Amino acid sequence: MLHGGADRHLRTMTPPTIMTEAFLSAIRKNPLLPRHSWYFVSGVTLSALNRPEDISAVYKLAIEKGAGTSDSVPSHIEKLEISRKMREALIKSAAVCGLPKVGMTKCRSIMYYTG
């Protein structure tokens, strides 16, 4: 145990992100995942692992490059569909694995975008 308040500071630090660009690219192009599901499967997994800060990285990539395996700028309608599917997956998974303990403000952008 560290002296003073240093140990409390270490416990509250956010761990480094595990969602690097290379890792997200590998998930997007995984042939074993059903078509157009990589982003909400990743989001639910990160939610169950209590990694809400990484959910926003997945969501951002899906909105910027689309739900498919190829890089393409999605239309406004496709962005809404991505947002709706991500929101629905996170809400439904909460019944089974609960909500992340911290960082739910990171997920609010999904709620705001789909209003």
Per-residue pLDDT reduced to its tens digit, 29-80: 999 988 899 999 999 999 888 888 889 889 999 999 988 888 888 999 999 9
Tell whether 100 is covered by a domain.
yes
The pLDDT, as a whole number, for residue 96 is 87
Q: Chain-wide mean pLDDT for the chain?
A: 80
> What is the pTM (predicted TM-score) of this model?
0.71
Cβ-in-10-Å burial (0-12, 13-18, 19+) of 39 comes to buried
Whether residue 74 contacts residue 67, with contact meaning beta carbons closer than 8 Å, is answered with yes
Tell whether 102 is covered by a domain.
yes
Q: Which two three-digit tokens encode residue 9? A: 């500071």
Tell whether 39 is covered by a domain.
yes
Tell whether 48 is covered by a domain.
yes
d(CA 54, CA 59): 9
Tell whether 59 is covered by a domain.
yes
Range of the domain at 93: 18-114
Could you give the number of structural domains in the chain? 1
Tell whether 11 is covered by a domain.
no
Tell whether 2 is covered by a domain.
no
Confidence category of residue 9, pLDDT binned at 50, 70, 90: very low
